Amino acid sequence: MNTSDTQSVTELPNPPLLCRLGVGALGVIVALSALPWMWYSISHFGAFDWGLFGFELLTILAGIFAIFFGLGKFKEGWGIGVTAIAGSILVALVFGLYLGFILAKKTDFPDLYPLAKYTLMTRAAVITGLFIFASIAVCSRNAKSIPYIIKAALCAAPIAAVAAMMQYNIGPGVWINNSLAGGSGTGALQSILALTLGLFFIVFISAAGHLLIHAFECGRLSKPQSE
């Protein structure tokens, strides 16, 4: 690699101020959203819920790292770093609040369910916002990233559509939920449907992730490379 190539990779401009402020603000929001659930997990459920506590702690750490990114502490790998933070928040949300409370405890603690629902919606919005700011930052460095980000969004759209139908029990989501719960069909249908859904999510998530990584690789250069 010659000197000019090295310079174009290492001397990267700061992400746009809007992106940095947005990521920092979202980091504060998501970190604060975890505090009440950490408090409830200590004794509110009758015993220390270490699982929920741990995932909420992970959410706070993700928020702190988002604040660092917002303050400009990191320049290299800014887009992929912010995306990794969004992914961490998503994993913690699914395995912590969603599985640990909404599916397991909302019947026993109905007074907390509205807070859980709004927390889930807030974090989904935060995750979306982080992806958007990461994409804007990458595209501002190199316009070649734009087609890959668009393709990644198109790959993610079917996942979001199916997840929304299942979450709100609308359209085909009603049949999917009933089949997975054993309310209709047979055990063989359950297994086939679960396997098909799993493959569906894996294929589209993998494709979207591959395209995003390629977009972020383009964004490592402040100017497009000559063909």
Classify burial at 223, counting beta carbons within 10 Å of its beta carbon; exposed 0-12, middle 13-18, buried 19 or more. Answer: exposed
Instruction: Give the domain ranges of the chain.
Output: 1-141, 145-227
What's the confidence (pLDDT) of residue 198? 77
Read off the pTM. 0.73
Pairwise CA distance, residues 37 & 137, whole Å: 32
90-135 pLDDT, tens digit per residue, is 889 888 998 888 878 888 898 998 999 899 889 989 998 998 898 8
> Length of the chain in residues, anyone?
227
Query: Which residues of the chain are under the pLDDT cut of 50?
Result: 1-10, 224-227
- Measured at the CA of 200, the angle between CA 199 and CA 204, to 5 degrees, comes to 110
Give yes or no for a contact between 85 and 130, defined as CB atoms under 8 angstroms apart. yes
Mention every residue, 6+ apart, whose C-beta is less than 8 A from residue 43.
none
| Phi, psi for 40 (deg, rounded to 5) | -65, -35
What's the confidence (pLDDT) of residue 196? 83
What's the confidence (pLDDT) of residue 40? 94
What's the confidence (pLDDT) of residue 201? 79
